[in-house]
Amino acid sequence: TLDGFLAHEVQTIVPEAVSGEKDAVNADGKIDPQGIDQSKLVPLLTKALQEQQATIEALTARITALEGS
């Protein structure tokens, strides 16, 4: 089992991370697969995690205050 991303799905969100075209074929009729530069996704994923962590911490503080702990 491999974990990863589908290039054509990533392309709609972070087009600069994807090279090639979906379902492309070369002159010989062979598949010309898309590629993903995953390093371009890392900053976006890191920022999303930071935002989620801030939300978690704010909600945890709110729950603690409401519970009077």
| Contact of 36 with 10, CB cutoff 8 Å | yes
What's residue 12's pLDDT? 94
Task: Name the CA radius of gyration of the chain, rounded.
Answer: 20
Which residues face 19 on adjacent strands?
A: 35
Model pTM? 0.70
d(Cα 43, Cα 35) in Å, to the nearest integer?
Answer: 18
d(Cα 49, Cα 54) in Å, to the nearest integer?
Answer: 9
* Mean local confidence (pLDDT), 22-50: 95
1 confidence band (pLDDT: 50, 70, 90): confident
Q: What H or E segment, with its residue span, contains residue 65?
A: helix 42-67
What's residue 69's pLDDT? 64
What's residue 40's pLDDT? 96
